Structure 1
Amino acid sequence: MNLSGIVAVSGKPGLWKALAQNKTGFVLESLDAQKIKLIANLSTAKLAALDEITLFSYDEDIKLTDVFERMKTAANVPDAKADGKVLRAFFREVAPDHDEEKVYASDMKKVLTWYHILKDMPLFNEEVKAAESGEAEKPIGAAAKAVTEKPKPKATVQKKAPATPKAPKINTPKNPSRAG
């Protein structure tokens, strides 16, 4: 399963494919039939690469790709809108070690929604090439690093210290003889 270049964008439904990178972010294309283009600014949007997402477990975190592989072989994959108990029972089957206190029903629904989007795509059944995973870095690898690393502060120009402070202005009437 080759999920490199596929991202989830916070605040945007569905999944997106990273097409290119510019100074401020990434050019993304939706994986649905509409093929909407989006420019995701890294300072405002949070991107999550699917091949780097994990689920909480009691021992070691479970990779999302491993869960998808088990879903492929599962007899009956429920709909994302199914009852929480049905989802939990299914996740006990495909991710038996997941931490039930940390993996919420909303997380399970999101994973199932992603699975239903990806299951019919050719990239879902192709294998990851060894050269791509080891040597060449895909644009999404850079996105993941950019999201996790804090941006470097810009060079600041130091301002000169202000001249001696001015005396505070006293509010006095214009004609003192008329005051009062």
Structure 2
Amino acid sequence: MNLEKILSISGKPGLYILKVQTRTGFVAESLADGKKITVNLKSNVSLLSEISIYTYEGEKPLAEIMKSIAAKENNGPAISHKEDNATLAAYFKEILPNYDEERVYPSDIKKILNWYNTIQAKGLVVEEAVAETEAVEATTETEEVVAEKPKKAKKVKE
């Protein structure tokens, strides 16, 4: 799962994909409705790839937590972020057993599950092993085509 270009913009609902960087900011496309918006550099923007969750041992990147949710749900949707706090905490405890319960609030868990379900609904939850296998297969096919290309015969002077 690649979270490199997925953004959360403060004051705007939902998630966005970074499309183009401009001199004064950037253009982002909403995952919810596909509308493009311009965002200036003064806006508070978070890349999902830069977000981490507190654990008792340190911090764990959001990408790893999303992978854990995807593995638990077989790349399907997670529970709704609208469940009660006790249900959400129990679910999150299954995903990340050592998360710091004092510093990770129910609102954080709701946001993570909402983000995961949004990304999953758009088909952006892909197992990296599958993606890597496809990339290796494409490379192998290219190498086979190159290997099959006949070599030119040398001209012999008489």
1:110 alignment partner in structure 2? 111
1:34-89 alpha-carbon deviations (Å, 9 max, x no partner): 2111111111x111111111001111201111111111122583210000000111
1:59 alignment partner in structure 2? 57
**Shift of the alpha carbon at 1:21?**
0.8
2:34 maps to amino acid: K
Higher helix proportion (structure 1 or 2): 2
1:164 alignment partner in structure 2? none
TM-score (norm 2): 0.74
Task: Give me the whole-angstrom Cα distance separating, in 1, the residues matched to 2:127 and 2:89.
Answer: 28
What CA RMSD, in Å, does the superposition of the two structures yield over aligned residues?
1.8
Task: Give me the whole-angstrom Cα distance separating, in 1, the residues matched to 2:53 and 2:14.
Answer: 19
Gapped runs of 5+ residues in structure 2?
A: 133-158
Larger radius of gyration: 1
SS class of match (1:119): helix
Bigger relative contact order (CA 8 A; separation at least 6): 1
Task: Give me the whole-angstrom Cα distance separating, in 1, the residues matched to 2:120 and 2:30.
Answer: 15
Higher strand proportion (structure 1 or 2): 2
1:41 alignment partner in structure 2? 40
SS class of match (1:58): coil
SS class of match (2:68): helix
TM-score (norm 1): 0.66
Percent identity between matched residues is 38
